[in-house]
A and B are shown apart, each in its own frame.
Chain A
């Protein structure tokens, strides 16, 4: 005869009414939940920012890269192991590779050393990168003035240098460096260009780099082999084919021995991101523990509330409320508490993330929607889980005894 339906709207209105009857207690519980949620929102945003930072760094050295290192590494480690029989990567390799590995868009050999850069009375230590004109394209560089390394036979070693802005600022002190004679490791060079600032990419600050032709660089530091060769695939889909082709060509050139290593940008990136993901999850887990504490607090508040309202439960039962209705009423209260806490926590967390992003503009900080959804659901689940015991206790009160207790 009767519908016996207690609508969700009615349940939550009744729950809200009773929560507003204990403002301080409700507020404290809410704060506890909010702190846990804020911590998760903040820490996961930091973790994701770190990940984005690493990805950006990788992207800044170019895209779809296949890197050839001297020496064979058995693991996916970044450094090559320099065994005794290892043949170096030679300039001849760098010349031959683009002709035989036809899928490759660019092959850029790199040598690296550090030396003193002198002009006039001033000097400073710089990294000297030996490379070719293609490096300009690979790293999407821009000139501040002058020109980059000229194209041509990479075995020719001209004594020209392109410098970063930091070197210009510190060594030339406002003087126009173009055409000026400088000394690098004691050898004479002519400055032909100054790079636009680009900042740090993979730990190498372009602003503090002196770039010379690769043959010159190797001669300068008396190096037999290249630091590495960077090959660029035309697109992401072509990377595996490029890897295979580069490997085949290099094996043939190295007497069928694989005394070199090939890394792809993706595999390096994957290693980094999996480490950072694990760190982020760990941080989130620690923060989630504070949610459990908040849940226990909710349970306490609800237990106190149930024992305070024994008479009220008795009344509701006398008025015909079923067990299940009483249960849903008290569950709604704890759910409401945790939902408000989650909402407040997300709001504060997001505000803090944007504040931090404003203070540290270099970090790509932004709230992580996935984690926010996760932590909100977690808080709601905690509200239900920890609200269950008090709600059951309320629903199982004997009506007659509950009414008597209230007298």
Chain B
């Protein structure tokens, strides 16, 4: 799947998005900040604001819509102090952590807005499991393959706009943990798979036959990440309605619910 932030440094002006408002005091945000901010957002903010950032009335982070904040400094202060008289509590996060959350919030508005709405989850499931052939690489709960990213809880962590982008343009932005890894052995055999672990001397990956493979780097002709996604683009291969259905279904996948303990 894709990362929420754009690659490299994101420098943009909310004034463009919000028309008449004055240019806000924004600064450089670096990619690692937004990545760390995403984790902090999901740990601290998502319960009220939601994954899409639009669950508090009048606020929509994805569209850059805020009620009380204009500048980064406003956001930093509100995250720290909360808003008295509202459900927004003060937080004991460091300045760096708060800065990372702000970087993440700013990165959200840098993405293209969602084009496919609203969609039907049941039809989407049929597409994912049928015509889309998604499970030949991906896994959802107990079904599918381990060669691609597991989608069992994709809807818990990935916004709809990210899912849509991933379907249409899989290679545009690949999250680091989803980069494919390719090794070429001394005898010329090429193996591409999902990286499980690596260090200075060895590589561990799952190949396209779902076999766990270990290699000494010294025994390889070459090794490294593949920057292209092995996933085909679905652009032009499915209709806009079908795209909306798939996004709706995938966004509904929130993981495996804990089962109540069985009593004898």
> Do A and B belong to a common assembly?
no
Please list the residues of chain A having a beta carbon within 8 angstroms of any beta carbon in chain B: none
Please list the residues of chain B having a beta carbon within 8 angstroms of any beta carbon in chain A: none
